Structure 1
Amino acid sequence: MHPVSPVTPPPVETPPASNTLPTIIYVLFLANIMVPFTGLIGVIMAYINRGDNIYLDSHYQFQIRTFWIGLLFGFIGFLLLALVIGWLVLFLVVVWLIVRCAIGLKYLNKQQAIPNPTSWGTGR
């Protein structure tokens, strides 16, 4: 009898990760500036899709934190509207949101993970 040689299966190639969904989420966050509740749709999509890919997970975590931190400071700004400073807080939240989304899109287009997705700032 001939010894049976073990057959190794061919390596499984994983398809490259698609940047489409994280891009849509960033766009939904930016659209939330003018159209209410699109950010809520985006964060739900981020929660559902995290865990699929290592570098995309950092983007999903970054997007989730962007939503919650933006909501917190947006609420604080809304409470302070009776005082003039509320307008300034809301303006700064919008600028912060635009910067975070731009940075996220930059890393996403390079197919790189966000270096520090748990930061409150720009993720660097």
Structure 2
Amino acid sequence: MTLPSETQRPIVSDSTLAVTVYILYCLGYFFVIPALIGVIIAHIKLDDTDAVLTSHFHFQIRTFWIGLLYLVTGTVLSIILIGIPILIWWFFWSLIRIIKGIIRVNEYKPIARPTSWLFG
């Protein structure tokens, strides 16, 4: 039983959730479902946290949707071999964004440009 004046602490901190989303994106290279879970978490937490972590969740959402665009475009264009460089770009682009995000959230620093199409 909690007293009305006490606030309940969350089970998992927001920074832990941000790192978890990045890890789910890594698992998304092998399975689809973890990346979908990650983007859902990022959407839910976007307006529910401080400015530093909001930049990370915004960055994660854009990483997912822009990455999906690269992935679909590269897959469709692979029929005529133009898509292979796009898929290689997607892999390295997303990997750099994930690693940069994990490092920045561990240092508790915001993503400088979370709306960037490159590396933030």
Place the TM-score, normalised by the shorter chain, in its bin. 0.7 to 0.9
Counterpart pick for 1:70 among 67, 72, 97? 67
Unmatched runs of 5 consecutive residues or more in structure 1: 1-16
Q: Identity over aligned residues, as a percent?
A: 37
Shift in Å, 1:18: 4.2
Shift in Å, 1:37: 2.4
Distance 2:36 2:78 in 1: 23
RMSD (Å) for aligned C-alpha atoms:
1.7
Counterpart pick for 1:36 among 27, 32, 52? 32
1:54 aligned onto 2:56 = no
TM-score by length of structure 1 reads 0.82
**1:111 corresponds to which residue?**
108
Q: 1 or 2, which has the higher helix percentage? A: 2
Distance 1:61 1:25 in 2: 12
Range with greater deviation from structure 2 (32-41 or 93-102):
32-41
**Aligned positions, number:** 109
TM-score by length of structure 2 reads 0.85
Unmatched runs of 5 consecutive residues or more in structure 2: 1-12
**2:80 corresponds to which residue?**
83
